[in-house]
Structure 1
Amino acid sequence: MTFSICVRESYEDDEGDEQFRFGVAVTTRLPAVGVPCPHVNEHGAVATQSLTNVELGSRGVEYLADGLGIEDALQALLNADDGSADRQLHGVSRDGAFTFSGDGCSGWYGHTEGENYTVAGNLLAGEAVIERTADHYADHRDDGDPLAKRLIDALGAGQAAGGDKREDLTVQSAAVRVADTGDDERPYYDDLRVDASEDPIVDLRETYRLAKRGYEDALERYAEDASEEDRGGE
């Protein structure tokens, strides 16, 4: 019912220190996928789907914050889950990646892993969905756009390849979440959801555009106000 992508990117800040950004984006032919499926913090990104067990994601990123390796953390959670055969779980941490698709997943399902990213899906039109999602991210990772935008665009590539096969379910949703160790405050556009739409990726892309513009307008306004206050105190 879902396909998603998890990403890790590292970079150097202005002081030469290594920083990380993590992101996850997901879409499905059901409402409110952004509630149970995507999980992210400053230590990793995890997507839990198929017959979703939210704890696999929420506890997974907590374990990463506690210092566990992602393979140990997520495999331990699956081992303790009686319904693991029906789960799909994948993600990235600062130093690893993990992918799992249980034998009980429905329709076409599968996953792939590339350099610092994972993609997985189930009940899809076919393998091309996750391949196109992965390829689009890999081909555009150095474009210079914010990670949230590139993740949304990667979902769009997967959707164009057929996406979720259940065309009779018209109410769909999509979400994107990003965490960045180099940002003191998370920008508004790094945590967005479209909970009910007939074209959620298009709507998520527009929501991102407006949220980014609104964030930048607010920063400019606050900077102008601060400048006026400074001048008034001279």
Structure 2
Amino acid sequence: MKTLFLLIGYALLQCQTQAQVYKQDNRLAHTFSIVARDSATGELGVAVESHWFSVGTAVSWAEAGVGAIATQSFTNKSFGIRGLELLKSGLTAQQALDKLLSDDEGREVRQVAIVDTKGNVATHTGKNCIQYATHIQGSSYSVQSNMMLTPNVSKAMSASIESTKGKSLGERLLLALEAAQKAGGDIRGQQSAALLVVPGKSEGKTWDERTVDLRVDDNPQPIKELRRLYSVHQAYQHMNNGDLAVEKNDMTTAMNEYNAAMKMFPQNLEMQYWTAITLANNKQVEKAIPMLKKIYAKDRNWQELTRRLPKVNLLTVSQAELQRLLNP
């Protein structure tokens, strides 16, 4: 009898394991996603959401000048890496997908989408993906979903991407995720999301060729959090543009960029601080002083940082001006 109970327990454990994993390295990622190419900029991107932890580490793959891939349902991560390699070898999106599926024993539980640098798309939804499981292809994009609450999720993503032409690719992908969630989303709810955008051409700097790379690994409202992070990302892009303008001694552009960042996040002390420092370096100490006074009142560490900047030439003012900036 004890042996019988052990056998039953083992069988139940096996069933539970197989319900979550097709193979040990093929994790469950029932989800909705979109892959797309921006016809104006050539950028390539993929966005995804799922009721599963850290979906962005398994589903979304992209490389500058190569393509973007989403591999989901029972996820085969190798499809991401191998798919990009196949695209780099000269295969089209469809040829790459055909090659990936040709020897895949789990093809009927896979859902895969690929877009290449020419805007060609290829999509596969296995017949054993859990309903509602659908995909829709359009000009330079593919939307796909499985285990959805309603049959309208892919339709909502498609309608969104079609109606947002002219916006940045990152924004369009995020809007598509938001539309999908409004249409019902994952039948299990929400947990994680990711947004990845890369340039249409590579400059050979793979370490610096991700225009947008954001992930929400575990959150009750991951798309809402992804939207917040995307806004932060945009604000810091303005800060980066301001820094580049300073390097070129283009102070007008620098201040415009810094001000744009501050308007997006007026409570961010760092954005305020570097704007004030730029003003001081641009011989506008009188404007910098009241800004620094407010910053120091909230956190005195910024005052100590100001003291350290002249040594590394990040603050180029006279000694008398430095004392005024340190003690506003």
Question: When the two structures are superposed, what TM-score results if normalisation uses the length of structure 2?
Answer: 0.63
Report how many residues are paired: 218
1:83 maps to what in 2?
Answer: 106
- Distance (whole Å) between structure 1 residues aligned to residue 147 and residue 85 of structure 2: 29
How far did residue 116 of structure 1 move?
1.1
- Structure (1 or 2) with the greater strand fraction: 1
1:208 maps to what in 2?
Answer: 230
Equivalent residue for 1:63, pick from 57, 64, 86: 86
Secondary structure of the residue aligned to 1:202 is helix
1:93 maps to what in 2?
Answer: 116
The structure with more radius of gyration: 2
- Identity among equivalent positions (%) equals 33
2:146 maps to what in 1?
Answer: 122
Q: CA 1:218 to 1:124, structure 2 compared with 1: closer, same or farther past 3 Å?
A: same
Provide, for residues 25-78 of structure 1, a one-character-per-residue CA deviation record: whole Å limited to 9, x for no partner: 000011101101011122211100000001112211121111111111111111
Equivalent residue for 2:45, pick from 17, 23, 32: 23
Q: CA 1:93 to 1:126, structure 2 compared with 1: closer, same or farther past 3 Å?
A: same
Secondary structure of the residue aligned to 1:82 is coil
Q: CA 1:201 to 1:221, structure 2 compared with 1: closer, same or farther past 3 Å?
A: same
- Distance (whole Å) between structure 2 residues aligned to residue 206 and residue 62 of structure 1: 33
Q: Which runs of 5+ in 2 are unaligned?
A: 1-29, 250-280, 282-312, 317-328
- Distance (whole Å) between structure 2 residues aligned to residue 187 and residue 155 of structure 1: 23
How far did residue 203 of structure 1 move?
0.4
Q: CA 1:34 to 1:97, structure 2 compared with 1: closer, same or farther past 3 Å?
A: same
Higher relative contact order (CA 8 A, sep 6+): 1
2:31 maps to what in 1?
Answer: 2
1:49 maps to what in 2?
Answer: 72
- Distance (whole Å) between structure 2 residues aligned to residue 57 and residue 225 of structure 1: 38
- Distance (whole Å) between structure 1 residues aligned to residue 83 and residue 201 of structure 2: 22
- Structure (1 or 2) with the greater helix fraction: 2
How far did residue 136 of structure 1 move?
0.5
How far did residue 187 of structure 1 move?
7.5
Instruction: Verify: 1:198 aligned to 2:220, yes or no.
Output: yes
Give the alignment of 1:146-225 within 5 angstroms. 146-167=168-189, 172-181=191-200, 190-225=212-247
Secondary structure of the residue aligned to 1:123 is coil
Q: CA 1:91 to 1:188, structure 2 compared with 1: closer, same or farther past 3 Å?
A: closer
Alpha-carbon RMSD: 2.0
Give the aligned residue type for 1:93.
D
Q: Which runs of 4+ in 1 moved over 4 A?
A: 182-189
Q: Which runs of 5+ in 1 are unaligned?
A: 12-18
Give the aligned residue type for 1:5.
I
Question: When the two structures are superposed, what TM-score results if normalisation uses the length of structure 1?
Answer: 0.86
- Distance (whole Å) between structure 2 residues aligned to residue 112 and residue 218 of structure 1: 37
How far did residue 194 of structure 1 move?
0.7
